[in-house]
Amino acid sequence: MRRKPIVLSGLLIIGILFGVAILVSRNAEADVTSLKPSRGVVWKDFLGVNAQFHFFPEATYRKQMERLRELDLQWVRIAMHWAILEPQQGRYYPPFDAATKVMAEEKLKAVGFLAGSAPFATSAPRSSPYQDSFPPKDNRLYSESLTRFIERYPEFEAWQIWNEPNLPSFWRPKEDPDAYAALLHDAVMTVRQRFPEKTLGTAGMAYFSQMPSRGMELMLKSLLAKGLASENLVVAYHPYTEYPEGNTVGKNEFLDTARFINGGLRSEGVKEIWATEWGWSSYSGPKEMQAIIGISGQADFTLRRLALMSALDYDRVFLFNLSDLDSRASVRDQSYGLLDLDGQPKPVFHALKNFLKVTGPRLEPAEPPAFAKAPKDLYSVAWTRGDGKKLLMVWSATAGKLQLDGVRQAVLHDPLRGTEQALKADGGSLVVGLKPSLQLLVWD
């Protein structure tokens, strides 16, 4: 779980991936970004979380599941470390079985990803301290084990094949797109002989699938060249960036890159695109790659990114993480949770709960309203709620004023604080005081 944002122009990435020369110039100060989503969103189907229930005592993970129900969410992506779950061929880890039964009782929709070679399968040299970070010595060992896991846990809705193989730390000694493509193909063919209807997906590729030792070439490019789009797989990647909007303040690397990559994947025939990890840690240091943003920054960044992702062409997104983790994770990776180690809500949980309460369970795309005046760094996403009311997700780094024509009165919600304010038009326009954090404006 190493999440270092790789600073690379989103537009350059697309040129590399699809061989299309796309040049877009941006000023240092971003233009107004007013988004109309391409389709509706049902949060229960769209938004999931990563979880590691088997890391915790039963009483704790039952509490985690209760908190998830408070958000009315159901999709969980479960970390499945092959080396832990099958330490010897055909022998399994009992706590995982127990947690899986409770997930089924709670009617959670689970996605598994099997990664990290088991001791009997690793290709690692005996002297290496990273035995599980090497690929398997024989792809058949992985494919057969994956098939046994699918048979053992039929409740799981979908399975991903490995995790972040585009990073050397997850595919030692260095990332190898040809080797991963071979593993992927063998696993897909083997599983579908037994379970032809089971949903399968690529590994979640870190940072849009950039490969550090290959000049930031994209693993997705190699997989597409090898026929990825014809495999009928979910294609997944992990769009971690320094800020919700990208890696540079005032620019839109995330927005630009996600739009073009998703558009390019669709043009190749990919039917399902998932972002299977994204999020920010609330850790207090020492600094470990991610800037220290604290618990309030985690809540702020999470809501802004969710607003953007809801308007883009993702079929499903999984926040990392439901719970903080113990010392088995790095200092930074211990603090990505919506909940603390005891299952108690952090500020990001309360903010997300407030957000989902105001938006309602379902949103439909709406035309952006007419702005009489808006700051250049405005971000807005326009929706219609299930009750027919208009909803605008808005924020601005400079916290200026937004003036809307034709809106006489509205309610402005601040989900970070759980507050609301009634607004009335003064003259011909409704004036909204913006913040650097996300607010929700609702009107008839």
CATH of the domain at 427: 2.60.40.1180
Q: Residue 216's pLDDT is what?
A: 84
Looking at residues 43-51, what average pLDDT do you find?
98
> Diameter of the chain by CA atoms?
76
Asked if 169 contacts 160 with a C-beta cutoff of 8 angstroms, the reply is no
DSSP SS3 for 260: helix
> What's the residue count for the chain?
444
Last residue of a domain, one of 362, 382, 412: 362
Collapsing DSSP to helix, strand or coil, 442 comes out as strand
Helices 10-18, 253-267: axis angle to 10 degrees equals 20
pLDDT band at 19 (very low <50, low <70, confident <90, very high): very low
Do 369 and 356 sit in the same domain of this protein?
Answer: no
Query: pLDDT tier at 249 (50, 70, 90 boundaries)?
Result: confident
Domain boundaries, position 439 = 364-443
Quick one: average pLDDT of 126-132?
A: 97
Domain match, 118 and 42 both: yes
What pLDDT, on the 0 to 100 scale, is given for residue 422? 98
Domain boundary among 362, 391, 412: 362
pLDDT tier at 250 (50, 70, 90 boundaries)? confident
Query: What does the alpha-carbon distance between residue 239 and residue 209 come to, in Å, rounded to a whole number?
Result: 9
Q: Which residues of 220-256 are buried (b: 16+ CB within 10 A; e: fewer)?
A: bbbbbebebbebebbbbbbbbbbbbbbbbeebbbbbb
Alpha-helical segments (H) within 287-378: 294-310, 347-359
CA pseudo-torsion sign 78, 82, 83, 86: positive
pLDDT at 13 over 50: no
**Residue 66 located in a structural domain:** yes
Q: Are residues 235 and 87 in the same domain?
A: yes
- Indicate if 369 and 283 belong to the same structural domain: no
Asked whether residue 75 is assigned to any structural domain, the reply reads: yes
5 falls within a domain: no
Task: Kindly state whether residues 100 and 129 are assigned to the same domain.
Answer: yes
For residue 144, the surrounding DSSP H or E stretch is helix 139-152
Give the amino acid at 396. S
What tokens appear for 329 in the block?
């994770």
Short-list 385, 392, 406, 382, CA closest to 434: 392
Domain count for the chain: 2
- Going by pLDDT thresholds of 50, 70 and 90, the confidence category of residue 329 is very high
pLDDT of residue 22: 33
- Do residues 116 and 122 make contact, with C-beta atoms less than 8 angstroms apart? no
For helices 294-310 and 347-359, angle between their N-to-C axes, nearest 10 degrees:
30
Mean pLDDT along residues 117-131: 97
Does residue 415 form part of some domain? yes
**160 in Cβ contact with 203 (< 8 Å):** yes
Query: Does residue 381 sit in the same domain as residue 356?
Result: no
Distance from C-alpha of 10 to C-alpha of 256, rounded to nearest angstrom: 6
Q: Contact, 343 vs 67, CB < 8 A? A: yes
**331 in the same domain as 399:** no
Cα distance between residue 284 and residue 263, in whole Å: 37
Residue 196 backbone class (left: φ over 0; alpha: ψ -120 to 50; beta: rest): alpha
Distance in angstroms (rounded) separating the CA atoms of residues 337 and 49: 10
Can you tell me the mean pLDDT for 329-341?
97
- Mean predicted confidence (pLDDT) in 165-182: 97
- Pair (394, 303) in one structural domain: no
pLDDT of residue 65: 98
**Of 274, 248, 251, whose CA–CA distance to 262 is shortest?**
274
Residue 44 lies in a domain: yes
* 254 vs 203: CA distance, rounded Å: 20
- In this predicted model, what pLDDT tens digit does every residue of 206-219 receive, in sequence order? 999 999 999 889 99
Residue 260's pLDDT is 84
pLDDT at residue number 256:
94
What per-residue confidence (pLDDT) applies to 29?
A: 39
* Whole-number Cα distances in Å, 32 to 211, 250, 384, 395: 32, 11, 21, 11
What's the pLDDT score for residue 233?
98
| pLDDT reported for residue 28 | 32
Give CA–CA dist 279/186, Å, rounded: 31
> Is 58 in the same domain as 76?
yes
Assess if residue 1 is contained within a domain.
Answer: no
Q: Does residue 436 share a domain with residue 302? A: no
Answer yes or no: do 104 and 147 share one domain.
Answer: yes
- Taking only the tens place, the pLDDT of each residue in 61-110 is 999 999 999 999 999 999 999 999 999 999 999 999 999 999 999 999 99
**Mean of pLDDT values over 327-333:** 95
Among 325, 341, 362, residue at a domain's last position: 362
Whether residue 349 is found in the same domain as residue 393: no
Does the residue 255 lie in any domain? Answer: yes
Secondary structure (DSSP) of 86-117:
-SBTTB--HHHHHHHHHHHHTT-EEEEEEES-
Tell me: pLDDT of 380 over 50: yes
Residue 307 is part of a domain; what is its CATH number? 3.20.20.80
pLDDT at 8 over 50: no
Q: What is the mean pLDDT of the chain?
A: 93
Residue 262: what pLDDT?
A: 95
- Please report where in the chains the tokens 């040049």 appear, as a residue: 23
Q: Is residue 220, in this structure, part of any structural domain at all?
A: yes
Cβ atoms 238, 226 nearer than 8 A: no
